[in-house]
Amino acid sequence: GDTAPRVVEDYRGVIQILSDGTIVRSDPAVLRPPERFADVPGVQWEEVVYDAAHGLKLRVYRSAAAGAAGKLPVLVYFHSGGFCLGTFEQPNFHSGCLRLASELPAVVLSADYRLGPEHRLPAAIDDAVAALSWLRGQAAALGSGAPHPWLAESADFTNVFVAGESSGANMSHHVAVRRGSGQLALDQLRIAGHVLLTPYFGGAERTAAEAAEPPEGAPFTPEMSDAMWRLSLPADATRDHPAANPFGPDSPGLEPVVFPPVLVVSAGRDILHERALRYAARLKGMGKPVELAVLEGQEHAFFSRQPWGAAASELIRVVKSFVHKGDGAECT
C-alpha cells in the first residue's frame, strides 16, 4: 500500500521525474568541470534581459578595445546541456565566451533559454528566436531609440552569426530553418552565417557509434543522449521528432529553405560524429553553402569541457576564419 511517488526518470541524480509528475533538481555543478578557468583581461561583459515574460537574460561580451577596432561581427551563442542543463553563468561557458569575444574578435551574446523537462521543446528553440528578435529590435533602435550602448558602439548588425554547441548548435539550425523558410523576420539584421559545434541531433534509428558499447569513462554516451531526449522532447515523442532529427519523417523538407553559409564542427570521437557528417553532406547535396571541420580525437562538446585546451584554440582558429572570411557576403 505504499503510495509515495517513485522515480520514473533519473538523469545522473541531477534531474528526476517522479510518478506524480514532480520534477526534482539537485545542484548541477556536480556534472561540471571542477577546475577554475582563467579570466581574459580586457573583455567587458554584462547581463541584459531579452525576454521579460520568461525572465530570460543574455550576457553581452566585448573587448574593451572594440571602439578602436571599429564595428565588430556579432556572434549570438547558445550553450550546450542537452536542452536540460546549463546557464551562461557556468564558469566553463563564460570562459569560452570571453575567449571568443577576445580572439575572434566579436561582440558575443550568450543567451540563456528554458530547459526541459519543465519546458519541453520547442521552448528552447522559441527562446532562440526571441533572442534574435531582441537583437533585431536593438538594430532597429539605432535610428530612433536607445539600443544597448555597447551594441550601438561596436556591433556590426550586417554581420551576425548564430552559433551554439551541442543543443545550442541544434537551436542554431532551427533558427536557420525558421528564417530561411520565411517564418522569422530579421529584416534589421543580416545573418552572415551559422556555426554548429558538435551538434546534438538524434534519430530513432541508431548510427553505428550509437549502437556500440561506449568505452570506459566516456564523457557522453548513448544512454545519456537518450535520457536527455526523453527529458526535453514532448511527452511520448520519439527521437525522430523534428526538434531532434532534421531529416526525420515528420521534419520539414530543407530543399526550399534559404541557408546562409553554415560551418559544422564535429569531433572524431563523438558518438554523434556520424550524424554531424550526414547533416553536412545532406545540406551540401541540396546545394547549401556548408563547410565541415573535424577535430579528430575530440569528444562531444569539447569546447565547453576544456575552453582553454588545445582543441578549443584550434576551434577558435576555425571559427575566426569562417567569421572573417572575405566580406561575409550571405549566400542565397
The active-site residue, picked from 51, 112, 127, 270, is: 270
Distance between alpha carbon 163 and the CA centroid of its chain, in Å? 6
Please state whether beta strands 56-63 and 23-25 pair in parallel, antiparallel, or not at all (unpaired): unpaired
- CA distance from start to end of the chain: 64
Closest C-alpha to 97, from 115, 83, 76, 81: 76
Whether 300 sits among the annotated catalytic residues: the reply is: yes
User: In whole angstroms, what is the distance from residue 213 CA to residue 191 CA?
Assistant: 40
Place of cell 557556468: 90
The active-site residue, picked from 173, 194, 273, 300, is: 300
The active-site residue, picked from 166, 167, 266, 304, is: 166
Q: Which amino acid is at 284?
A: K
Whether 270 sits among the annotated catalytic residues: the reply is: yes
Closest C-alpha to 227, from 96, 33, 31: 31
Closest C-alpha to 320, from 268, 260, 263: 263
Closest C-alpha to 316, from 77, 111, 32, 66: 77
| Residues identified as active-site | 166, 270, 300
